[in-house]
Amino acid sequence: MRDFLEDGRLDALHRLNLLDTGASESFDRITRMASQIFGLPMAAISLTDRDRQWFKSRVGIGHSSIPRFKAPCAQVAGSKEVLVIEDLHGDPTYCDSLLGRNGTRFYAGVPLVTSDGYGLGSLCVLGTAPRTASESELATLRDLAAMVMAQIELQHAFGRLDPVSGLATCHQFYEDLADLALDEAGQPKVLVVVKFARDDQINGIMRAMGGARVDELVREATHILRDGLEGQPKVYHVGAAQFAFLMPSASKHPTLFPRLREHLNMMRLSSSTRYVANIAIGVRPFVLAEASARDLLRGALTAAEDAHRTDDFISTYSETRDGAHRRRYALLEDFGAALEADDQLSLVYQPRVELATGRCISVEALLRWRHPRLGDVSPSEFIPIVEQTSLARATTQRVLEMALDQLARWDMAGIELMVSVNISAANLAEPDLAQRIQAALVERQLLASRLEIELPESATMDHPEQALGMLRQLDAAGICLSIGDFGTGYSSLSYLQRVPVQVLKIERAFVSNLGEAPGADHVLVDSMIQLAHRLGYRVVAEGVETGDTLAALREMGCEEAQGYHFALPMEADELARWLSRNGQAENCLASTD
């Protein structure tokens, strides 16, 4: 019975995850008060482990722990009663104890007891001379012990212990790391994060099997980590299936990476989800007190995410990669403000030239962003991240309105052009897109045939039925439709026969080498053009930069082309001047402006 109770007590102690943690001001404050109230040089919050007394907080005591054998705090923890020893030298039990031999004469300790009745240790005061303890002093010591337990319970009441894994959460990690930085500032360490599954895999397990299966994965992961790390170091549960622990510096621990790889292989073999989830490890070296705990954990999680794209599923934190990721996120946040501003977003227009006549019959509207702090941001940087968010709808609407406003102004100036506006895959989820486009045309009294809507080929293949429905609505409204970046989306012939588009735009990667000696690119582009013609489509070649490329495309029967050989993308006023210089005549074909 005694062993059973002791096992329960030790289990309660270890579940609190207090042992071997750093100093904490919330506990040190109480210990100092106890020392001051008794007027004694030593005080401690002592936790009774299996074979030692470990001090979570201490005043005037040089050691972080002492053996449990003949330690008065062990008696207090076991009996859960107050113990006062007025003179250790006169006590038959403790006169030859470690404390007695080291000059301690007075001891008073009150128990630290959990809400379910387990004695963890004691709050004690010690002196080097015999003395007594009054009832009022002991009452105060009991109050202080209650404050210690309240602090422990408070930590766990606010999410410091995960209910499924039983491990300390990220909130406890933040506090522990801050405490460790006070004791060991400047010391190098390594933070390791283990992800037992990607977020999308967790979602897949949840949808297919429910939350209970995810909880089972978490408990299994906890068991694997504890066994693999042999109880050291302390493991934190910092995400759905994400765990973290601290290690010594890699330079002081040369076997760190080989051990991690060994543990990773063991985890893969023993995990019941090894066929549906990928385990990855992120490693972040750091120096204590030089970065915040939140930033360190974020960086280690970023490294773990990067590890999913490596051969051995282990990745070390890269400041360069992290900086790029943070820049993308910052740009995304700033772009929302740019949409609401009047002076950040603008359009430029790149001419599309009809090869048979040399006339510029259409322009492609291209979005540009002048960031108030960063200056011009490349579209290749911000457009892909915007298209993946809820900002895609507002962005398309803004571009459409600016392009149609300009088209109306050109009409008033007697410039007859068609304008092409790009939409993204995200816009396919907008059931009212066709209606919004028609309303914008009517509002400006523009013919639908003056507008071309371009959809990337990849979007049509990712959402074929949505794309088909959308394109049919736009086609019925009389709007010209095109598929852009053709050749990159693996379109099927049967699908191409169904979509009501009029134009295929061949991606620049296939066009750029046509000026060289005939080769594979010539065969591919010629085949694309012939296929498009057989299906009834008009062909536009993007990325034309040389006269030789232009000549090759004319020989293949391509109808239109755009690229630097004709002109760079221009603002509306500059485009008008360019059109005037070229006189809308055949000399467009020779232009290199």
| Chain centroid offset of residue 341 CA | 28
Half-sphere exposure of 241 (CA within 13 A, CB side): 30
Q: Which of 467, 568, 556 is nearest to 506 (CA)?
A: 556
> What is the band of 82 on the pLDDT scale with cuts at 50, 70, 90?
very high
Contact 479/437 with Cβ under 8 angstroms?
yes
Answer whether residue 447 shows pLDDT above 90. yes
Asked if the model's pLDDT at residue 274 lies above 80, the reply is no
Least confident piece of the model among 344-348, 375-379, 470-474: 470-474
Q: How confident is the model at residue 347 (pLDDT cuts 50, 70, 90)?
A: very high
At 105 the pLDDT is: 96
pLDDT digits (tens, 9 = 90+) for 542-583: 999 999 999 999 999 999 999 999 999 999 999 999 998 876
Q: Which two tokens stand for residue 224?
A: 């694997």
Question: Using 50, 70 and 90 to split pLDDT, how confident is the model at 586?
Answer: very low
Q: Which residues, in sequence order, are CB contacts of 8 under 8 Å at separation 6+?
A: 118
Flag whether pLDDT at 258 surpasses 80.
no
3-class DSSP assignment, residue 372: coil
Confidence bin at 200 (pLDDT 50/70/90): confident
Tell me the percentage of the chain whose pLDDT exceeds 90: 54
Amino acid at 113: V
**Three-class SS state of 90:** helix
Count of CA atoms in the C-beta half-sphere (13 A) of 67: 5
Identity of residue 290: E
pLDDT at res. 137: 94
3 state SS of 286: strand
pLDDT of residue 158: 58
The residue type of 563 is G
| pLDDT above 80: residue 322 | yes
Average model confidence (pLDDT) across the chain: 87
pLDDT of residue 17: 75
- Return the pLDDT at 141: 96
Mean pLDDT of 261-288: 78
SS (H, E, C) 374-442: CEEECHHHHHHHHCCCCHHHHHHHHHHHHHHHHHHHHHHCCCCCEEEEECCHHHHHCCCHHHHHHHHHH
Closest CA to 57 of 148, 166, 135, 156: 148
Residue 541 has pLDDT above 90, yes or no: yes
| The two three-digit tokens of residue 334, written as one number | 């700033």
Q: What is the CA radius of gyration of the chain?
A: 36
pLDDT at position 593 is 40
Q: 3-state class of 265 per DSSP? A: helix
pLDDT (tens digit per residue) in 452-492: 999 887 766 666 777 788 889 999 999 999 988 776 655 55
Residue 421: φ, ψ to 5°: -120, 130
Question: Global pTM?
Answer: 0.65
Of the candidate ranges 156-170, 181-195, 395-409, the one whose mean pLDDT is the lowest: 156-170
Residue 72 has pLDDT above 80, yes or no: yes
Structure confidence at residue 5 as a pLDDT band (50, 70, 90): confident
Higher pLDDT, 331 or 25: 331
Return the structure tokens found at 169.
Answer: 């959460």
CB-hemisphere CA count at 13 Å for 36?
7
Do residues 553 and 544 touch, judged by C-beta distance below 8 A? Answer: yes
How buried is 398 (Cβ within 10 angstroms: 0-12 exposed, 13-18 middle, 19+ buried)?
middle
Q: Which of 138-147, 184-193, 514-523 has the highest mean pLDDT?
A: 138-147
pLDDT on residue 491:
55
Asked whether the beta carbons of 450 and 479 are under 8 A apart, the reply is: no
Q: From 443, 455, 440, 447, select the one nearest 416 (Cα to Cα).
A: 447
